[in-house]
Amino acid sequence: RLVVDWLRALHDQALPDDDPNATALTWKDMAIFYRNNALSRVLEDECRGAGVPYVIARGTAFYQREEVKDAIAYLRVVANPADDVSLRRIINKPARKIGRTTIDALDTFAAHHDIPLFHALQLVEQIPGLTAAACKAIQRFVALFDAWTSGGTFMGEQIPASIADLVSRVISESRL
C-alpha cells in the first residue's frame, strides 16, 4: 500500500508556480520493479483499489494465470451450478479421466433434456454409452460440489463456516 500511495502522491503533486520548467509526472513516467512474482497480486490489488493504472510488462498478471482462472471457475460453479462455461473449464482439471467423448455425451444429454450440464452430471447413470469408469469419475466430481454446498459434515469434517474456509477447501480438495 505504501508504494501505491507514494506513486499516487507523486502523480497528484501540484507543480510549483515559480518554475516554468517543471513538468508533472504521468503514470507512464513511473514503474515498479519486483523480483518475486508472489508480489504481483498484492501490487495489482493495491493499484486497482487506488485507481492507479498498471501493466504487467513480463510474466502473467495474477488474475490471468491458469490456476487462478480455474479456482475462480470452481467457485463460480459452487455458487451457480448452471454456469456451463465455468463447468466446462474445470470438469477435467486436474485430469480425472473425464475425456472428450464423455463430455460430448454429457452435452448431448443436457441439450436433449434442456438441463444445465451440472444436472446432467448428477444424472450420469441415466446417460447411455458411458463407461463405468467415466460414471465413477463424474460421481466423484459431483461429490466434491455436494460437499462444498451442503451443510453439516462431510467425511467427518465440518463444512466451512466462512467463504475463506470454502475457498481453501475448494483449492485443496479439487487438487488445483
- Rounded-to-integer distance, Cα 39 and Cα 3, Å: 12
Question: How high is the pLDDT of residue 161?
Answer: 61
Provide CATH code, domain 65-173.
1.10.486.10
Q: Please state the domain extents for the chain.
A: 2-62, 65-173
pLDDT the model gives residue 156: 61
User: So what's the pLDDT on residue 105?
Assistant: 97
More confident residue, 72 or 22: 72
All residues at 6 or more sequence positions from 124 whose CB lies less than 8 Å from its CB, including other chains: 106, 130, 134, 135, 138, 139, 142
pLDDT of residue 147: 86
> What is the signed CA dihedral for 158, 162, 164, 170, rounded to 10 degrees?
50
Q: What is the pLDDT of residues 97-154, one digit of tens each?
A: 999 999 999 999 999 999 999 999 999 999 999 999 999 999 999 999 998 887 655 5
- Judged against a pLDDT cut of 90, whether residue 169 lies above it is answered with no
Look at residue 158 in the predicted model and tell me its pLDDT: 58
Cβ-in-10-Å burial (0-12, 13-18, 19+) of 136 comes to: middle
Number of H helices, E strands in the chain: 8, 2
pLDDT of 34-73, one tens digit each?
A: 777 777 888 889 999 999 988 877 667 767 788 889 999 9
The pLDDT value recorded for residue 92 is: 92
Give the integer Cα–Cα distance in Å for 91 and 85: 10
Residue-wise pLDDT for 23-32, tens only, equals: 777 888 888 8
